[in-house]
């Protein structure tokens, strides 16, 4: 037992989580979900009250995709002070890459039975597939693009912006301009991405029907594992020396320069990583919600991502995940329970959380825990060693 235990402790994850209680919780919960959700959805019979309806599986899968997205943003905003108001763009690009693959998977089962062209191209009289659609029928190429396209955009954009030292609000606003421009571009039907309707009517992925509960659960598990994986990755990054350089850049950029660090390189790297994570989130999101359209590029969506992170607790990674889930659950609940006035509540939530929880939910929990710790330390100090 203890031998295996040591192995675990030696492993990278073990080492990372030593000082990270919250992380342990999170990973524990994610893995638990990855096991339980399929169990309660597939194994438990539908009539049992313990049965978990499929729509909840999909819903939670969606939340996890948002969580991954929030994680990506927290990595750059929380630790490097880059407030991107255009992160939705990377998410959407990843989504479109996946969507294009799923589109090609339909093959000749579209309404017009055209093996080459997606339906929307057929009835808009496109004669042949545009070049940028080539290759997407291949799953691995598509998956490659899921990461590459956002990364490429992030690289070019970041390289320009960080090189010429665009910082603070200026950076935020031009990221917003970026996603806004993409929004307009993807709305154009001439772009060949389905215009306002985007890509939809997906059938199956790698031969498994997207409608089947099995596939749904697999996608859910994948989402859960991706979030876990991404968390570990981000944790590894921020607890390395590199991570501390990021913090240094966030707190005192010019000091860091005078210490001899190429700030633009450090920013660029983390920006690209973050964009990739966002892209992956998008790719997982699309098959679960069954549609990707330009709406995902809208600046408001990107602002919402920022809000998830802020509500959860900026610069903690853990908080980003919490925030994404809490806010989106609130949204789902309010829109169902108070369709007429839910915006009041959501708005109030944002205002209050910025006013009274500047450190987000996680901040509150920590304060509480510290107070608790102080109390405990009075009577049984040994508990604190863990």
Partner 1 sequence: MSAVPKPGYHFEEMQSMLYLNGVTKSFDGFKAINNLSLDIAPGELRAIIGPNGAGKSTMMDIITGKTRPDVGEVRFRDSIDLTRYDEAEIANLGIGRKFQKPTVIESLSLWDNLELALAGNRSVVKALFHKLSGEQRDRIAEVIELVGLAKRAQELAGNLSHGQKQWLEIGMLIMQEPELLLVDEPAAGMTDQETMETAALLKEINRDHTIVVVEHDMDFIKALDSKVTVLHEGSVLAEGRLEVVSANPRVIEVYLGR
Partner 2 sequence: MDNAMTLPRYIFRSALIVLLAMAALAQADMATDSVVQGAQIESADSAIEASAEMSVEEVFAELIAARSTSAKTDTIQKIANSDFPQAQTVLQALQEGELYYTKAKPPVLVFAVNHPDGYSISSALNGEDLGVVGLRDVRKVSINNALRNLLRGLLAEMALRSESVDVRLQAAKNLIRSPAEEYLPAIEKAIANETSDKVLVSLRLAEGMININSDEQTKRLAAIEAFSDTLDSDVMSLLAGMQIQDADGNYQESDEVVRLAAAEVLRDMKAQAQLYKIVENTFFGLSLGSVLLLTAVGLAITFGVMGVINMAHGEMMMLGAYTTYVIQLIMPNYIDYSIIVAIPAAFLVSGLVGIIIERGIIRHLYGRPLETLLATFGVSLILQQAVRSIFSPLNKSVTAPSWLSGSWEINGALSLTYNRLYIIVFSLVVLALLLFVLKKTFVGLQMRAVTQNRAMANSMGIRTGWVDALTFGLGSGIAGIAGVALSQLTNVGPNLGQSYIIDSFMVVVFGGVGNLFGTFFAAMSLGVANKFLEPFAGAVLAKIFVLVFIILFIQWRPRGLFALKGRFVED
Partner 3 sequence: MESRKSIKTFAKRGGIALAAATLSLSASIAQAADTIKVGVLHSLSGTMAISETTLKDTVLMLVEEQNKKGGVLGKKLEPVVVDPASNWPLFAEKTKELLEKEKVDVIFGCWTSVSRKSVLPVIEELNGLLFYPVQYEGEESSKNVFYTGAAPNQQAIPAVDYLMSKDGGSVKRWVLAGTDYVYPRTTNKILEAYLKSKGVKSSDIMINYTPFGHSDWQTIVSDIKKFGSQGKKTAVVSTINGDANVPFYKELANQGISAGDIPVVAFSVGEEELSGFDTAPLVGHLAAWNYFMSAPSDANDAFIDKWLEFIGDKKRVTNDPMEATYIGFKMWVKAVEKAGTTDVDKVHDAIIGISVPNLTGGIATMLPNHHLTKPVLIGEIQDNGQFDIVWQTDGAVPGDAWTDFLPESAKLEADWKDPKIMCGNYNTETKKCSGQNY
Contact footprint for partner 2 (CB under 8 A): 83, 157, 160-161, 163-170, 172-174, 176-178, 180-181, 184-185, 187-188, 254, 299-300, 303, 306-307, 310, 340-341, 343-344, 346-351, 353-355, 358
The minimum distance between CB 175 and partner 3, in angstroms, equals 21
| 269 contributes a contact to partner 3 by CB under 8 A | no
- The residue (of 183 and 268) whose beta carbon lies closer to partner 1 is 268
Considering only residues 327 to 386 of the shown chain, the ones binding partner 3 according to CB under 8 A are 332, 335-336, 339-340, 342-343, 385-386
- The binding track of 112-151 with respect to partner 3, each residue x by CB under 8 A or -, is xxx----xx-xxxx--------------------------
- The binding track of 218-237 with respect to partner 3, each residue x by CB under 8 A or -, is --------------------
Strands 204-205 and 208-209: antiparallel
- The residue (of 25 and 368) whose beta carbon lies closer to partner 3 is 25
Q: Which does 371 bind (CB under 5 to 8 A by kind): partner 2, partner 1, partner 3, none?
A: none
71: nearest Cα among 295, 233, 259: 233
Sole binder of partner 3 in the list 129, 143, 174, 195 (CB under 8 A): 195
| 181 contributes a contact to partner 3 by CB under 8 A | no
Considering only residues 275 to 314 of the shown chain, the ones binding partner 3 according to CB under 8 A are 289-291, 293, 295
- The residue (of 106 and 230) whose beta carbon lies closer to partner 3 is 106
The minimum distance between CB 186 and partner 3, in angstroms, equals 11
Q: Which does 123 bind (CB under 5 to 8 A by kind): partner 3, partner 2, partner 1, none?
A: partner 3
Q: Which does 363 bind (CB under 5 to 8 A by kind): partner 1, partner 3, partner 2, none?
A: none
- The residue (of 141 and 242) whose beta carbon lies closer to partner 1 is 242
Q: In the complex, which residues of this chain contact partner 1 (CB under 8 A)?
A: 237, 240-242, 244-245, 247-248, 251-252, 254-263, 265-266, 269
> Apex CA 229: angle with CA 96 and CA 308, to 5°?
65
Q: Which does 258 bind (CB under 5 to 8 A by kind): partner 1, partner 3, partner 2, none?
A: partner 1
- The residue (of 295 and 363) whose beta carbon lies closer to partner 3 is 295
| 208 contributes a contact to partner 3 by CB under 8 A | no
CA separation for the pair 273, 259 (Å, rounded): 24
- The residue (of 30 and 97) whose beta carbon lies closer to partner 3 is 30
122: nearest Cα among 183, 211, 201: 201
């Amino acid at each position: 037992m203890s031998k295996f235990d040591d192995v675990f402790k030696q492993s990278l994850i073990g080492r990372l989580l030593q000082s990270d209680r919250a992380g342990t919780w999170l990973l524990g919960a994610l893995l638990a979900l990855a096991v339980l959700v399929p169990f309660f959805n597939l194994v438990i019979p539908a009539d049992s009250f313990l049965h978990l309806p499929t729509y909840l599986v999909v819903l939670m899968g969606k939340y996890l995709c948002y969580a991954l997205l929030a994680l990506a943003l927290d990595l750059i905003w929380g630790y490097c002070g880059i407030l991107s108001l255009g992160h939705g763009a990377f998410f959407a690009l990843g989504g479109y890459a996946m969507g294009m693959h799923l589109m090609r998977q339909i093959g000749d089962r579209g309404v017009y039975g055209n093996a080459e062209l997606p339906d929307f191209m057929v009835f808009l009289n496109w004669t042949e597939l545009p070049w940028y659609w080539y290759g997407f029928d291949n799953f691995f190429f598509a998956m490659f693009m899921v990461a590459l396209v956002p990364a490429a955009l992030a690289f070019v954009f970041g390289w320009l912006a960080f090189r010429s030292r665009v910082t603070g609000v200026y950076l935020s606003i031009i990221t917003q301009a970026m996603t806004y421009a993409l929004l307009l571009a993807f709305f154009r039907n001439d772009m060949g991405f389905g215009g306002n309707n985007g890509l939809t009517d997906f059938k199956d992925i790698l031969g498994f029907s997207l409608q089947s509960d099995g596939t749904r659960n697999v996608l859910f598990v994948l989402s859960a594992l991706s979030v876990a994986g991404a968390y570990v990755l981000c944790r590894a990054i921020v607890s390395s020396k590199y991570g501390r350089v990021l913090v240094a850049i966030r707190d005192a950029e010019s000091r860091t320069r005078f210490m001899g660090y190429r700030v633009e390189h450090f920013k660029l790297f983390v920006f690209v990583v973050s964009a990739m994570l966002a892209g992956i989130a998008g790719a997982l999101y699309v098959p679960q919600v069954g549609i990707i359209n330009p709406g995902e590029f809208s600046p408001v969506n990107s602002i919402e991502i920022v809000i998830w992170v802020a509500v959860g607790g900026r610069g903690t990674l853990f908080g980003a995940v919490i925030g994404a889930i809490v806010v989106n659950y609130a949204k789902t609940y309010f829109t169902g329970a108070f369709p007429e006035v839910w915006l009041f509540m959501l708005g109030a939530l944002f205002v209050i959380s910025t006013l009274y929880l500047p450190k987000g939910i996680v901040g509150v929990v920590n304060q509480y825990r510290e107070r608790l710790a102080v109390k405990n330390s009075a009577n049984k100090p040994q508990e604190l060693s863990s």
